[in-house]
Amino acid sequence: MHLVIINASPRIEEKSNTAKIIKIFLRGFMKEGNTAEVWHLSDRKQWADAKEAFKNNDNILFAIPLYVENIPGIMLEFLEDLEPKAEAGTKMSFILQGGFAEGCQLRCGEAYLEKLPAYFNCEYNGTLIKGNNFAPAWLPDKAGEGMLSPYEAMGEVFADKGCFEKETATEFAKPEYFSEKEIRSFNRFGSKMQKLMFDFMAKRHGCKTPLNYKPYEEK
């Protein structure tokens, strides 16, 4: 099988969590001799070639970060003048990932993607969704790849089945919802760790003002 992967993240490849996920997914997908080509929408010079690859191949996978409950604007722009397939038979699959840990947070985006292929005379071939993918971009490579390692197994499954089967994708997306116990635990401990992480990221990016600074607060 030859697979065309289009990375729909607006972030440059070197800073893209989605690009890291693609890399690890392909380790599993290509184990048995399958091939792939990857195009990054963050580099607009690749758009013409990506559209040509879409036109000339029948297995397409969009890898997408969740932005405000749905797909990034750069992907919508790319799709605006993407020509529908002249003949039926092309399969469109999706990897949708985001920072929210609960699978339910990505279901709105998934519902949109289920309807998208029909606009391009393609068949919907499943969506693999997974949350809790915020940290890998900020961790050292080895630690970040360790968090994303389950995508390698999903690459193997996709190579074997030729799609993202609903049952497998549902299991991969867990937890769908946090339990009350998990929510209480996060409120007690996790929120403090989250604050430390955001403070670290801000400092790393040169921010010298406290993140909780409220310049317009009435005194």
Q: For 160-193, what is each residue's pLDDT tens digit?
A: 999 999 999 999 999 888 888 877 877 777 677 7
Note the pLDDT of residue 183.
72
Does one domain contain both 69 and 108? Answer: yes
Does one domain contain both 104 and 183? Answer: no
* pTM, entire model: 0.86
Does one domain contain both 135 and 190? Answer: no
Pairing state between β 91-97 and 35-40: unpaired
Does one domain contain both 198 and 114? Answer: no
Alpha-carbon span 141 to 127, nearest angstrom: 26
Q: For 50-86, what is each residue's pLDDT tens digit?
A: 999 999 999 999 999 998 888 999 999 999 999 999 9
User: What is the token pair recorded at 5?
Assistant: 């992967």
Domain assignment of residue 127, given as a range: 2-172
Alpha-carbon span 198 to 99, nearest angstrom: 13
Which CATH number do you get for residue 137? 3.40.50.360
Task: Measure the CA dihedral 8/137/191/207, to 10°.
Answer: -100
Does one domain contain both 81 and 127? Answer: yes
Q: For 121-150, what is each residue's pLDDT tens digit?
A: 999 999 999 988 876 666 667 777 778 999
Does one domain contain both 129 and 109? Answer: yes
Where residue 219 falls among pLDDT bands split at 50, 70, 90?
Answer: low
Instruction: Domain count for the chain, please give it.
Output: 2
* 173 to 71, 74, 75, 144: CA distances (angstroms): 17, 25, 23, 18
